[in-house]
Chain A
């Protein structure tokens, strides 16, 4: 299962959804902004989800082709893994 590490604070600032890590588990001194699709995936990943769940969440929330959703999810998960944000 894919799951975000604990300690992220999510906040809307000046119209942007911003995620900032706290605690000592995440070695990242920046912040990331989430667009609406990323926010949808983020919320699922905060609870814990499989790739299929993430694709299903995108398909339910947005009018996209499955192929596009799969590519989007793979790309986003890859980014989070690269940042070492996942458990």
Chain B
């Protein structure tokens, strides 16, 4: 992961930054996309559509969305990075 073009979605900077620093793979970032989503509450969620599109385009590298959405997931992720 080297950078982002989120096409109007809002992503959480701290999470994205850590992804770049850790050099995580695109597939791992997409699987954990829920942690980075910063769109306002009650807005429609796009993670599933994005993951589905990836799977259609890359049948060899199928991924599944890890359901760890929400602030708890973010906190867990960021604390993990610090440790």
Q: Do A and B bind each other?
A: no
Interface residues of chain B, those whose CB is within 8 Å of chain A, are none
